[in-house]
Structure 1
Amino acid sequence: MTVGVRPLENRFVRLEPFTPALEAEVRVALDCDPASWDIMVGAGYGPHFDGWWRSALTAMEQGTCMAWAVRQLSDGAVVGTTSLYEIKPDYRRCEVGATFYRPEVRGGAVNPSCKRLLLGHAFEAGAVRVEVLTDAINPASQAAIRKLGARDEGVLRKHKITFRGRIRDTAQFAILDENWPDVRARLDARLAVLA
């Protein structure tokens, strides 16, 4: 499994790999909604951005993470970030996540568009398993993951610690290579009816 870093695009979004040239736009996109960041392991808003950005670029250099800025094509604005991370080529698995969108684009075409692109990229690279993790106290995120067609695999207790210091339980989901055709068809059907 070799996950390359390249732009990914469909009719709603363009995913642009992190580069220094994107730093200012990503900073602006993430500098909002502090309450949403509170349940995340790492924070990328306000005073937390610089360390978060450096960490993402370092992980990309090491090949353990591929991070993208999410550019909404309707207006050209960067509206968030998303990633493939915990990339394990020997096991042909990775996680999709480290995702944050501006509040005004949540619930529309952006998230299913990004997931369609990232999942396609991972499975085309040879993944046999793509995991999607979220905080167990985040029912909206869990519902969105189930809507993708990911299988619920339970809760990992005391799995991570948020940047605020709360020990978090993690709800774990996965999509396997044999599930991908159905998940892809489901995402394509959702996107086909969106304006």
Structure 2
Amino acid sequence: MTCSASLDRLIAPIDYENLHLVQLGAEHREALRAICPPDDPVWEIYPVRLSGEQFDTTFDGIVGNPDRRPFAIHEDGTLVGISGFLNIDLVSRVLEIGGTYMMPAVRGSGLNGRLKPLLIARAFDSGFQRIEFRVDARNARSLRAVEKLGAVREGVLRRQRVTWTGFVRDTVVFSILHDEWPR
């Protein structure tokens, strides 16, 4: 499989039961803005703020970043969030899954537990051998979700990233290898 074929396969739309994932684009801007309330407390532990005055700059940075392949997540035909692939290294066959935001109404519904296995399977089917997850050490919900996937906690990158609030966060790194993932 060539590198370009791996990337082409990686970013193709995903349909599973009532979920439809398609590459995030300009056509999703206003629908995403509508599900990202400025008063959502999750913004305090996110590296960026995808709402309010920061929405357009952050959205453009996500969609326009060549190292990212974000998906718009539709459940039953309604946009409910975003997630995707980051830091894609075709030569080493490594990528990160992240950049996930779910509208408040679907958090805790099991959506993330159905979504992440689809992204993991897609990455491995596209020829990647290692998947990473990088989570703010303060984000207990995301830490538990990644652990439930069976990812191995590799360590903490101390004071690794400055968030949009100016907070310098510790980042917990997890991984799943191709041969560890159940078929």
TM value normalised by structure 1: 0.86
Question: Contact 1:15–1:114 (CA<8 Å) still a contact in 2?
Answer: no
Could you tell me which residue of structure 1 aligns to residue 64 of structure 2? 58
Could you tell me which residue of structure 1 aligns to residue 27 of structure 2? 21
Paired residues for 1:107-126 under 5 Å: 107-126=108-127
1:36 equivalent among 42, 60, 65: 42
For residue 83 of structure 1, report the CA deviation from its aligned partner: 1.3
- How far apart, CA to CA, are the structure 2 residues paired with 1:93 and 1:30? 30
Could you tell me which residue of structure 2 aligns to residue 69 of structure 1? 72
Which 4+ residue blocks in structure 1 deviate beyond 3 angstroms? none
Question: Contact 1:9–1:117 (CA<8 Å) still a contact in 2?
Answer: no
Unaligned runs of 5+ in 2: none
Question: Contact 1:150–1:175 (CA<8 Å) still a contact in 2?
Answer: yes
For residue 109 of structure 1, report the CA deviation from its aligned partner: 3.0
Question: Contact 1:12–1:110 (CA<8 Å) still a contact in 2?
Answer: no
Could you tell me which residue of structure 2 aligns to residue 155 of structure 1? 156
Q: Which amino acid counterpart does residue 6 of structure 1 have in structure 2? A: A
Identity of aligned residues (%): 32
Question: Contact 1:42–1:163 (CA<8 Å) still a contact in 2?
Answer: yes
SS at match of 1:164: coil
Could you tell me which residue of structure 2 aligns to residue 187 of structure 1? none
Q: CA RMSD in A?
A: 1.4
Could you tell me which residue of structure 2 aligns to residue 3 of structure 1? 7
Q: Which one has a larger percent helix, Structure 1 or Structure 2?
A: 1
SS at match of 1:118: helix
SS at match of 1:52: helix
Q: Which amino acid counterpart does residue 67 of structure 1 have in structure 2? A: P
Aligned length: 177
Could you tell me which residue of structure 2 aligns to residue 133 of structure 1? 134
SS at match of 2:179: coil
